[in-house]
Amino acid sequence: MKSFAHSLSSAQETVLGIDTKDISSLAYVSGLVALETVIPFANAAEVEFTVVVEGDNTVTIDPVGLDIDSATLATINMIASHYFQTRRWNLPVVVH
C-alpha cells in the first residue's frame, strides 16, 4: 500500500500546474495520474491514449500501443475515475 500511495503522490506532482477547470482537461489529467500511478516506469505524458467521460462521471482510458492486461486497465480506469470525481467536486484524494 505504501508503494501505491507513493506512486499516486508522485503522479499527482507531475500534473501540478495543468489547468483542470474544464471537464476534458480534468479527464486528461486524471488519465495521466492513473497511468503514471499504475505504470510508473512509463512516462505517462508520452503515452498516447484516448479518454472518455461517461454519463455517470466515470473515466475510461484507452492507451494506444501499450500491451496492458484487462485487470491493469480496469485499475487504471478506476483510479482515473476516482481522481476525476474527487478533483471535480474538490474533495481530497483518498487511497483505500
- In the block, cell 483505500 appears at 96
Nearest in space to 80 (alpha carbons), one of 39, 40, 34: 34
Q: Give the three-class secondary structure for 62.
A: strand
pLDDT in tens, 42-57: 677 788 899 999 999 9
Least-confidence region, from 5-9, 29-33, 82-86: 5-9
Q: Give the three-class secondary structure for 51.
A: strand
pLDDT in tens, 62-90: 998 888 999 999 999 999 999 899 888 88
Give the burial class of 34: count Cβ atoms within 10 A of its Cβ; 0-12 exposed, 13-18 middle, 19 or more buried: buried
Give the burial class of 91: count Cβ atoms within 10 A of its Cβ; 0-12 exposed, 13-18 middle, 19 or more buried: exposed
The three-point CA angle 86-88-94 to 5° equals: 10
